[in-house]
Structure 1
Amino acid sequence: MGSAPDVYAQLRSDLKGTEAEVLTPDSEGYRESLQRWSEHCVKEAQAVVKVTSASDITKTLHFVKTNKIPIVVKGGGHSTSGSSSISDGLVIDLSKMRNVTVDPAAKTITAQGGTIWADVDNAAAEHGLATVGGTVNHTGVGGLTLGGGYGYLTGAHGLTIDNLLSVSIVLASGTQVTASPTSNSDLFWAVRGAGQNFGVVTSFTFRAIPQPHPVFAGPLIFLPDKLPQVVTFANKFHEQNNEDAALMWGFSCPPPANAPVVLTMLFYNGPEDAARAFFADLWDLGPVADMSGVVPYATVNSLLNANAGFDGRKQFGGGAFKLPMSPAFVEALFGEWLQFVSGHEGMNESLMLFETIPYGKVREVANESCSFSNRGDYYNIGTVFKWFDPELDEVVREFSRGLLRKASQSAGVEQDEEIRGKEGVGVYGNYSNNDVSAQDVYGSNTKRLEELKHKYDPDNLFDRGTRLVPRPLVVVN
């Protein structure tokens, strides 16, 4: 390939007459375009192409294939695996594609590929509607959806992908297609859980859920001595199995005190008096801070934004846990977590969270119904470690991996054939990093995914997510 300036001058020519931008290191706005939610995912790309349409993407894919340039796709830039950044190639940046269209009569929401959840939540709320989104509203719609998608409405309505009606996607060939239950249905099966491996999704159409009334939500914060009672309440929550409620709980050392606390995040899709009765045991414990209250549903996904700022280096990690749990076991995990965090400078905003979102609706859908394979009799654990010293990168990865393994296995979620088959894999792909295999994330769906990868992306152009190796279908006579 020729010199970088010559090559990308050709791409600018290819995109002339469009509103797309081709940014190279000498361009205004290039440096800002590299920013990601985690600082350790910032990489010096050869070029960033801010596309505005599927046709822009088609032209860009033709260009990179002709010039043999590696690519990644950036939506919200929230991944901590680094899969939306690249140092030896080009970023297809979807941030200029943020239109949301709501059809109140059909009860559908169509969001372009670069939208964030705030865009969707606010547009839907204007019509008294919602859909299953994430828990932080500056997260990209694309990344969360293509990996599965858990949110506050999951208990009543399943995963984000369970409410996905169709996608418009540009394939590696540059072809623009629709994938739905009736059009390219095998591709629709694949994108619901492994979509980042199959193309660039330019729009998502979701089923809209009526949400005309506000909800009760917000954090309660406790001193660490209340952790056993919080675990006891989580066990009770599990037995009650109220689909309109969600409880997230865990520990952090947030500013300004930077001291350890037990965090709980409450959600109740109903009136305040019913919510206060449902969560009464927690108020009886005497929280040191209470930020809960009645809020519009569109506000809920912003309540944890303060704990998810854009500074610092960050590492997602994921595991699974079953309830009931022993308070003593959780106290031991907390002690190990606290010793690590307090022993390394600048890690006080790290977080370990037990996401107790009722999973009955999730389990009503079989693991083989789409590529997503994490449907089972368990909940997700999420960790977000935050630090500033690059020397700690590998130390954090190793500790996070070990802590989550201990939490998952000791809580009864073993990584064996029972979990990987009948019960699902016990690994949420959106919390995983590049140190896990496709088999870890997709379990028994891996073989079919590899065959579909061969059909739709045989040259493995989209190779930066959870790695799938294209494998041709073998027909036995």
Structure 2
Amino acid sequence: MRGLIVFSLFTVLAIAKPANASATNACNMIANAVSSASDVYWPGSIQYTNDVSHWANSSSAVSTCSVEPGTAEDIGVTLQILGSTNTSFAVKGGGHTTNAGFSSTAGVQIAMSRFSDVVYDGATQTVSYGMGLTWNDVYSALEPYSVNVVGGRVSDVGVAGVSLGGGYSWLTNQYGLVVDNIVGFEIVLPNGQVTNVTEANDPDLFFSVKGGYNNFGIVTQVTTRAYPQGQVWGGIVVIGGDQWDTINAATTKFQAEVTDPKAALQVIPAYDAALSETPVAFVLMFYDGPSTPAGIFDDYLAIPALNTDLSTRSFLSLVQSSPTHSTNSTRVVFNTASVTTITTGLLDAIVNETQFWSQELSNQSATFISYVIEFYLPSLYQHAAANTSAYPPTRAQGLLLLELYYAWDLPGADAIMQAATVQSAAHLKAVATSEGQDISDAPLYGNYAIAGTPVEQIFGDSLPRMRATKERVDPQNIMGLTGGWKI
């Protein structure tokens, strides 16, 4: 039985503390300075509660006040006040981060909820969307036009983190990452200036924001390419844990033989306390067409299932079919590992980790333990040229992502659960390395990585260019007053 090494991380405030006098002063200054399009809210109001709340309770904090800016100019005013008063702040889009302090703060919480427009331009075949939206909002708005964007796979995830962090999609095999398709940003720079950034007018800033999160200002809107979208086929099947060998055989065969870029797959060994005492497999299948060609998913479909939800449907319906709310209002942590291939040995190790940690952590109020295995074609990074985005820092080799996803109820278990994901990710990396995979420098995906991960492991060789750009646009390090992957 492996012992746990406690991994010290941010923990959310469990008890409200008195408001910081400096932050209170900044809140009052902001309230007096912004236009009527914006509002400042205080603890006790419904709006404040909505603004500071996150998908996972463990990511929320008790802020001094919340600000709902209604214009980019008011964000500029707010940033200038925060900088001049040296007040900590946080920016929340959809609120789906599992790292406490990344979009939460004891200072001033900025909620982007009023940036909620979705505009399709048929002439340029682009879509512009605000940073206060979820992917459900974007896909719902685009469905009447029969077009789509490269975006998130889970309906209630915010667009901000996915769009600014890299972004993997059901459409990635066809069109690349989310950042590969972005053609412009509206961003409020730390000095308060509102500007539209493209590759043509500021290539260094455009590069840096594509994957560089909130280091360079506050992005209010993204403009990205639109693609035709018809009916798709797919959904989810739940398979019992007595079928692991058959599932693993189907999975290695899929990886070896399926090269159709319209096909995508996630295999998720998972312990779900609400479903079963032992781990099961969630298999998510996607095909960008009304039916899937013979042979692509046949091996999975032949396995007896506990539950099946597969059909020809709209893209929106497909995304909404994912079980996104089962862990709402719990404590959650993600972690990740990047590998080059999924072998039978690695699959066995992942299943063993699921079984081991579901038992080991059952007395720590664990409610959900899963390992999301994401499959992509080796060409997934070739949809954009090298050195066109901060993430991925290299496009020389395709990677497959493992997302560790642990949920629990008791705040007292935070450090134990976080430590478990660190230990488990390291173990899986060691297994892959022992099989000959050269992943010592494989970049990690920031939206899955646990707090405390060195930024060098996310941004790699992009860091010098990012840091030079950061020094130019934020010489006073105002964006250093907020959390996230700081460079």
Fold conserved between structures, TM > 0.5: yes
Q: Which structure 2 residue ranges, 5 or more long, are not aligned?
A: 1-19
Q: Counterpart of 1:250?
A: 268
Question: Over residues 280-302 of structure 1, what are the superposed CA-to-partner deviations in whole Å (9 max), with x where a residue is unaligned?
Answer: 11122222221111110122222
Q: Which structure 1 residue ranges, 5 or more long, are not aligned?
A: 469-477
Is 1:380 matched up with 2:401? Answer: yes
1:112 CA displacement: 1.0
Is 1:220 matched up with 2:237? Answer: yes
Match of 2:426, as an amino acid?
Answer: R
Aligned equivalents of 1:154, 1:100: Cα separation in 2: 21
Contact kept, 8 Å, 1:137 with 1:305, in 2: the verdict is no
- SS in structure 2 opposite 1:368? coil
Aligned equivalents of 1:335, 1:438: Cα separation in 2: 29
Q: Which runs of 4+ in 1 moved over 6 A?
A: 413-418
Q: Counterpart of 1:204?
A: 222
- SS in structure 2 opposite 1:81? coil
Q: Counterpart of 1:185?
A: 203
Question: Over residues 205-252 of structure 1, what are the superposed CA-to-partner deviations in whole Å (9 max), with x where a residue is unaligned?
Answer: 0100111x2111111121123222222222222222221001100211
1:347 CA displacement: 1.9
1:28 CA displacement: 4.8
- SS in structure 2 opposite 1:165? strand
Aligned equivalents of 2:179, 2:244: Cα separation in 1: 34
- TM-score, scaled relative to structure 1: 0.91
Is 1:47 matched up with 2:68? Answer: no
- SS in structure 2 opposite 1:300? helix
Aligned equivalents of 1:45, 1:244: Cα separation in 2: 44
Q: How does 1:111-150 map to 2 (within 5 A)?
A: 111-150=129-168
1:400 CA displacement: 0.6
Match among 5, 10, 14 for residue 33 of structure 2: 14
Q: Counterpart of 2:109?
A: 91
Is 1:234 matched up with 2:251? Answer: yes
Match among 265, 287, 309 for residue 291 of structure 1: 309
Q: Counterpart of 1:363?
A: 382
Is 1:354 matched up with 2:373? Answer: yes
Q: Counterpart of 1:474?
A: none
Aligned equivalents of 1:11, 1:348: Cα separation in 2: 41
Greater shift in the superposed pair: 454-463 or 306-315: 306-315
1:3 CA displacement: 6.0
Match among 332, 344, 349 for residue 332 of structure 1: 349
Q: Counterpart of 1:264?
A: 283
Q: 1:413 and 1:11, CA in 2 relative to 1: closer, same or farther beyond 3 A?
A: farther
Q: 1:146 and 1:98, CA in 2 relative to 1: closer, same or farther beyond 3 A?
A: same
Contact kept, 8 Å, 1:218 with 1:292, in 2: the verdict is yes
Question: Over residues 153-182 of structure 1, what are the superposed CA-to-partner deviations in whole Å (9 max), with x where a residue is unaligned?
Answer: 001110001110100000111111111111
Aligned equivalents of 2:283, 2:439: Cα separation in 1: 31
Aligned equivalents of 2:366, 2:100: Cα separation in 1: 20
1:359 CA displacement: 4.2
Match among 439, 449, 474 for residue 456 of structure 2: 439
Greater shift in the superposed pair: 127-136 or 374-383: 374-383
Aligned equivalents of 1:194, 1:429: Cα separation in 2: 9
Question: Over residues 2-47 of structure 1, what are the superposed CA-to-partner deviations in whole Å (9 max), with x where a residue is unaligned?
Answer: 66555433321112x4221101225453233221011111111111
1:307 CA displacement: 5.2
Greater shift in the superposed pair: 342-351 or 68-77: 342-351
Q: 1:323 and 1:440, CA in 2 relative to 1: closer, same or farther beyond 3 A?
A: closer
Aligned length, in residue pairs: 460
Aligned equivalents of 2:326, 2:435: Cα separation in 1: 30
Match of 1:312, as an amino acid?
Answer: T
Q: 1:234 and 1:307, CA in 2 relative to 1: closer, same or farther beyond 3 A?
A: farther
Question: Over residues 252-282 of structure 1, what are the superposed CA-to-partner deviations in whole Å (9 max), with x where a residue is unaligned?
Answer: 13324344211110001123252x5421111
Aligned equivalents of 2:46, 2:413: Cα separation in 1: 32
Greater shift in the superposed pair: 257-266 or 156-165: 257-266
Q: 1:460 and 1:84, CA in 2 relative to 1: closer, same or farther beyond 3 A?
A: same
Q: 1:362 and 1:123, CA in 2 relative to 1: closer, same or farther beyond 3 A?
A: same
Question: Over residues 169-208 of structure 1, what are the superposed CA-to-partner deviations in whole Å (9 max), with x where a residue is unaligned?
Answer: 0011111111111121210000011032111111000100
Match among 421, 432, 454 for residue 400 of structure 1: 421
Aligned equivalents of 2:473, 2:430: Cα separation in 1: 37
Contact kept, 8 Å, 2:51 with 2:109, in 1: the verdict is no
Aligned equivalents of 1:120, 1:390: Cα separation in 2: 34
Aligned equivalents of 1:380, 1:299: Cα separation in 2: 25
Aligned equivalents of 2:263, 2:314: Cα separation in 1: 15
- SS in structure 2 opposite 1:197? coil
Aligned equivalents of 2:383, 2:26: Cα separation in 1: 51
Is 1:457 matched up with 2:457? Answer: no
Aligned equivalents of 1:7, 1:200: Cα separation in 2: 18
Q: 1:124 and 1:28, CA in 2 relative to 1: closer, same or farther beyond 3 A?
A: closer
Aligned equivalents of 2:207, 2:54: Cα separation in 1: 29
Q: 1:6 and 1:446, CA in 2 relative to 1: closer, same or farther beyond 3 A?
A: closer
Contact kept, 8 Å, 1:23 with 1:48, in 2: the verdict is yes
Is 1:311 matched up with 2:332? Answer: no
Greater shift in the superposed pair: 395-404 or 143-152: 395-404
Match of 1:385, as an amino acid?
Answer: Y
Contact kept, 8 Å, 1:223 with 1:288, in 2: the verdict is yes
Match of 1:39, as an amino acid?
Answer: N
1:94 CA displacement: 0.1
Aligned equivalents of 1:414, 1:196: Cα separation in 2: 37
Question: Over residues 381-426 of structure 1, what are the superposed CA-to-partner deviations in whole Å (9 max), with x where a residue is unaligned?
Answer: 1111000111211111111112112223322499999753xxxx33
Q: Counterpart of 1:167?
A: 185
1:451 CA displacement: 1.2
Greater shift in the superposed pair: 404-413 or 246-255: 404-413
Q: Counterpart of 1:410?
A: 431
Match of 1:356, as an amino acid?
Answer: F
